[in-house]
């Protein structure tokens, strides 16, 4: 596993949950691939257009246990545990990042609510 790639993708993932990025349609559009889609923790599906139009949830979140699993040279599955301090809930997350036009873009994302606490991992 490439530690540099893992750190690069983790930084992108952290920017994706950052308030400033989530408030900026331009910055969010830069991270999301044109074909982006998401299965939210609500169970609803969203595409890039819906995320750009409706906006994304603005909460204080932090990433834990970040791991990457290369699927191809230009496709990586990332998995992690996310604590949402604002909504007082935790989720397991998965993202697929694709190298498109020489930069990593978020292609797919899913969040699944869990009762587990960070100390239990």
CA angle 63, 65, 66 (to 5 degrees): 70
Q: Could you give the CA distance from residue 101 to residue 99 in angstroms, rounded to a whole number? A: 7
Which residue is listed with tokens 């587990």? Answer: 116
Whole-prediction pTM: 0.91
Predicted pLDDT of residue 66 = 97
Predicted pLDDT of residue 28 = 85
Structural domains of the chain, count:
1
- 97 sits in which H/E element: strand 89-100
Helices (H) and strands (E) in the chain, counts: 4, 6
Q: What is the CATH number of the domain that holds 81?
A: 3.10.450.50
- Domain residue limits at 111: 3-120
Q: What is the DSSP letter of 24?
A: -
User: In a structure prediction context, what are the per-residue pLDDT tens digits for the chain, which is 121 residues long?
Assistant: 578 999 999 999 998 888 777 778 888 889 999 999 999 888 899 999 988 887 666 788 899 999 999 999 999 999 999 999 999 999 999 999 999 999 999 999 999 999 999 999 8
Within 10 angstroms of residue 23's Cβ, the number of other Cβ atoms is 12
CB 79 within 8 A of CB 69: yes
Burial class of residue 64 (count of CB atoms within 10 Å of its CB; 0-12, 13-18, 19+)? exposed
The strand pairing partners of 63, in sequence order, are 82
């Amino acid at each position: 596993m490439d530690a540099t790639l893992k750190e690069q993708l983790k930084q992108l993932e952290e920017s994706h949950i950052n308030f400033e990025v989530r408030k900026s349609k331009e910055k969010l559009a830069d991270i999301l691939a044109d074909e982006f889609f998401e299965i939210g923790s609500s169970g609803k599906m969203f595409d890039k257009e819906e995320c750009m139009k409706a906006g994304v949830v603005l909460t204080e979140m932090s990433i834990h246990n970040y791991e990457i699993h290369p699927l191809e040279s230009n496709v990586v599955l990332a998995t992690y545990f996310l604590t949402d301090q604002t909504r007082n809930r935790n989720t397991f997350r998965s993202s697929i990042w694709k190298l498109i036009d020489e930069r990593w873009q978020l292609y797919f994302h899913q969040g699944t609510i869990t009762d587990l606490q960070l100390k239990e991992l």
